[in-house]
Every structure is written in structure tokens, then in C-alpha cells.
Structure 1
Amino acid sequence: MFDVEERARVRDELIAAAHSDGDIVGAALVGSTARGVEDRWSDLDLVLQLADDAEEPAVVTRWTRLLDERFGVADTLDVMSREGVRYRVFLLDSSLQVDLSFWPRDQFRATEDGFRLVFGQANEPTSSSAPSSEQTIGMAWLHALHARSAIARGRSWQAVMMLDELRDQIITLLCLRHGLNPWRGREVDRLPAHALETLRDGRATSVGLPELERSRQVLVRHYLTVVEQHDAERAVALRRALEDPVTSC
């Protein structure tokens, strides 16, 4: 298990490597480190700015080899942003997560709160778009419907999955309502206590169908209450469609 000292050493070595790499013309720290909220469990997020003539696949391959040789890499995962920027997520042997993103020179910029420029020149910052409440409301009722049909069909594990998805959409709506960041549950623990208590009460305590139906009813009621805060007219229509209980379980 990694410790704070190892994380600091890895960060310093990667920044030094970026300085000495001719294909890298800028770097910035993002995430909890840049926001000043780093703790014992934080991962490491480093944004790299590519030179105009850099071949991104070759740079990514070279940096992957560098991390494996210096620190030991258990696995990697590539995530592509909407802008087409590659985030390569490294799981080191010590369990430290290192996120490296490789940005074309003209796209290198802050896209969220917390961007600490280490060297180079960043472009004008942009704000990442918050999830759409309209889309989230729709995805939630879709999962609520599938949870209901799964319970009626006796498919308990499908119901568990659909209820988890429904809860995630409710959390997103609550975070949007309270001006909190819903991304990966980053600020969900800052929701009001009464909202968290309802979410807790909506968790099924078993995979038995009666308990899953109880969970569904609690979550649907909570969902409709939250929707009402966003769009009262829409909540009335959704209430008519979603409140019927499953009687066959």
C-alpha cells in the first residue's frame, strides 16, 4: 500500500521527467492536489501538454514504459474525454493511482476548479458542463421502470443493478439542486442530512424480492420529490406513471 511519501516521490519524478522530455512543453497538477484537499488516500493527477510535432501514441507508450520501469505498473486504463484527449490511468504495484492526460498544445487548459500550472503556458480556461437535469430525470425513470419489471419477473440481481442506477441519478439531481459536484460522488457526502437519510433508507438490505420492492418504492418516492423541486409539472405526470406497486412479489 502506497504512503504519502511515495506519492510525493512519484509526483516529483514525473514532473522532472516531463521537464526533460522534448515532446512535453507544459505540465499541470489537477485534482485534489491542485485544489488543496489532498489526503492520505488521494491519487495523483498530472496533465501534460504535447509539443506541436509530438506523436501522441509514441509519447503515451514511452511514458507507460517509464512508469513501469521506475515504479511497477499493475495495469492501465485509457479514458477518452469529449475533446478526444487521452487519460491513461495507471494502477501501480503499490496501489497508487496515477492519472496522466496528454493534451495537444492548443487544448491544454483548466477545465475544472483546481489547475496548478507547473511549467509551460496554458490556454484560456473552460468550464466543464454539469450534467443535464432534464436528461438525468429521464434516465432515472427509465431505471425505475426496469427495476419494477425486474422485480415482477423475479430477477433479483437485475433489480439490484437498476435500483443502484436509479439511486445514482437521484444523487446527481440532489447535487445539482444544492450546487454540489456530482461527478463520481465527489461531493455527495455534503448533501443535507435528511437527503442522505432517505438515500440510506432506500437501500435494500437483502436481494429478496419483497425487500427490493420496498427499496424501489422508497427510491421512487424520493425521486419524485426531487423532480418536483426541478419541474413540478413533470413530477405530477411521472407520479401517475411510476407509483403503482409490484403486487406479484
Structure 2
Amino acid sequence: MFSQRERRDLRECLVAAAQVDERIGAAAVVGSGATHREDEWSDIDLAFRLAKGLQPAAVIDAWTGRMYKDHGAVDHLDVWSGSTLFRVFLLSSSMQVDLSFWPWETFGASGTSFRLLFGEANEPTSSSSPAPATLIGWGWLYALHARSSIARGRHLQALYMVNGVRDRVVSLACLRHGLPADQGRGVDDLPADVMVTIADTLVRGLRRGDLSTAFANAITALIAEAEQIDPGLASRLREPARELVRTACGPHAEATEDALR
């Protein structure tokens, strides 16, 4: 396990390297470090603005080599958002280091967790959140596959699919309450009654009854969140939702079918 001092020293080392790299025109710390909310579990999250005309491919090999040679990287994962590359490194100490490489014209804050370290940034833009209608759509799609998995006795697959429904419920609830919706980041700050509803969607075991109960609760929660966003859509979803519960849950379905009326 790494110490907070080791994390701080590594971040300072990376920022110093960026300052002397002529291909990088600015750098910012993002995430919890930007607002001084780090704890012992936090990672390093740095955003680099590339010089005009450059794309991530121009610098990524050199920076990746540095992470492996000098800082104990053992693997990395690439995530693209438009023309921006987020390369996420896992170090041997179990530390996570996120380095993002932004073309000149797109570099800037998209939320409050952005602190410029050197150089200049573009004007801030509003952060993008997942569209509620898309989350609802993914919710019922996972529910379809949860139903068939339960009915087929594929209990581990059913667990995965029920969790998929619940994850969309969590995101919808976070959006509704003005909390970060991605990756469950705001879930622990939801009101107590909402957290109870979400807790009821947890699968307690791999028996069909356990899966059916969690599935029925997840469907009910999904329709309740849809009602807050688009009552007309929620109304259209109720009939197929009842059918999903009835055909998946059998004798466990009656109470939930009543709740969906």
C-alpha cells in the first residue's frame, strides 16, 4: 500500500516532467485532489493540454515508458472520450494514476473538480451526465435478460443482470437529487429512504427466490424513477414490467405486481 506522501511526491514528479515537456502546454489536477478532498485511498488524476496541432499519439509512448520504467506501472487501461485519451495505470503499490491527454482546443474544466497547475485552459464547459431516458432504456434491457436468466436457472448470469438494473436505478436517483451519477459516486449521499429502496434491490443469495425478490424490487424502483422523469413513459412500461416480474418470479411476484399497478 502506498502512503499519502508517496502519492504527493509522485504527482509532483509527474507535474515537473510535464512542465519541461515542450509538447505539453498546460496541466491540471482533477478529481478529489483538485478540491483537496483526498484521503488515503485516493488516486492521482492529472490532465495535460497538448501543444497546438498535437494528438495523444504524439506523446503517449514516452509517458507510458516513464510510468513503467520509473514509477512501477504493471498494467494500463485506455479510455477514450472524443479526441481525449485517458490512460489509467496500475502501479505495483496498488496506486491508480490517471493521465489524460487533451488536444489544445478541448482542454478545460467540465465541472468543479479541476485545478489548473500551469499554463492556460479553455473556458469551462458544463459537465455531461447520462441522459435519463437512456438509463431507463438500459434498465428495461437488463431487466429483459434478468427475467430470462432467472427463468432458465442461470443464476450467476441473473445476478449480473439484476445488478445492471439496480445500477441504472442508482444513476437515475443520483441525477434526480443532483448528485454525481457515474459509477455510483453519489449513492452514499442519497436520502435515507432512497437508500433503503436501493438496498432492497440487492441480491441476497443465488437461490431463485433471492434473485426473484431482488429483481422484482429493482423493477419497481426503475418504474418509480421513470415516473419522476416521464410519467407517460412510466405508464407504458408498467404492463411489460408486470409481465417480466410474473414470468420470472412466479409465486414471488404478487406483491410487486400490485405495486406496479
Aligned partner of 2:146 in structure 1 is 147
1:179 counterpart SS class: coil
Q: Which moved further from structure 2: 177-186 or 4-13?
A: 177-186
Cα distance in 2 for residues equivalent to 1:25 and 1:138: 41
Aligned partner of 1:45 in structure 2 is 45
Q: Deviations over 1:23-44 (max 9, x none)?
A: 1111111110102211111111
Shift of 1:58: 4.0
Cα distance in 1 for residues equivalent to 2:79 and 2:175: 24
Q: Which moved further from structure 2: 164-173 or 217-226?
A: 217-226
- Decide whether the 8 Å contact of 1:34 with 1:115 is kept in 2: yes
Q: Map 1:84-233 onto structure 2 (within 5 A).
A: 84-233=83-232
- Decide whether the 8 Å contact of 1:217 with 1:243 is kept in 2: no
2:59 counterpart SS class: helix
Q: Which moved further from structure 2: 207-216 or 235-244?
A: 235-244
Shift of 1:111: 1.7
Q: What TM-score comes out, normalization by structure 2 length?
A: 0.90
- Decide whether the 8 Å contact of 1:140 with 1:165 is kept in 2: yes
Cα distance in 1 for residues equivalent to 2:50 and 2:223: 47
Aligned partner of 1:74 in structure 2 is 74
Amino acid of the structure 1 residue aligned with 2:75:
D
Aligned partner of 2:259 in structure 1 is none
Structure 1, unaligned runs of 5 or more: none
Q: How many residues align?
A: 248
Shift of 1:199: 1.4
Q: Deviations over 1:157-212 (max 9, x none)?
A: 11111101000100111011111111111111101111111211221111111211
- Decide whether the 8 Å contact of 1:145 with 1:242 is kept in 2: no
Amino acid of the structure 2 residue aligned with 1:183:
D
Shift of 1:5: 0.5
Q: What TM-score comes out, normalization by structure 1 length?
A: 0.95
Cα distance in 1 for residues equivalent to 2:31 and 2:130: 19
Q: Map 1:51-62 onto structure 2 (within 5 A).
A: 51-52=51-52, 54=54, 56-62=56-62
1:77 counterpart SS class: strand
Aligned partner of 1:29 in structure 2 is 29
Q: Which moved further from structure 2: 172-181 or 123-132?
A: 123-132
Amino acid of the structure 2 residue aligned with 1:67:
M
1:219 counterpart SS class: helix
Work out whether 1:243 is the aligned partner of 2:242. Answer: yes
Amino acid of the structure 2 residue aligned with 1:142:
L
Amino acid of the structure 2 residue aligned with 1:91:
L
Cα distance in 1 for residues equivalent to 2:100 and 2:84: 7
Over 3 Å counting, the alpha-carbon distance change for 1:225 and 1:125 in structure 2 is same
Amino acid of the structure 1 residue aligned with 2:199:
R
Aligned partner of 1:18 in structure 2 is 18
Cα distance in 2 for residues equivalent to 1:3 and 1:170: 36
Shift of 1:53: 5.2
Cα distance in 2 for residues equivalent to 1:99 and 1:211: 38
Structure 2, unaligned runs of 5 or more: 253-261
Q: Which moved further from structure 2: 229-238 or 96-105?
A: 229-238
Cα distance in 2 for residues equivalent to 1:66 and 1:53: 23
Amino acid of the structure 1 residue aligned with 2:109:
A
Cα distance in 2 for residues equivalent to 1:55 and 1:208: 51
1:91 counterpart SS class: strand
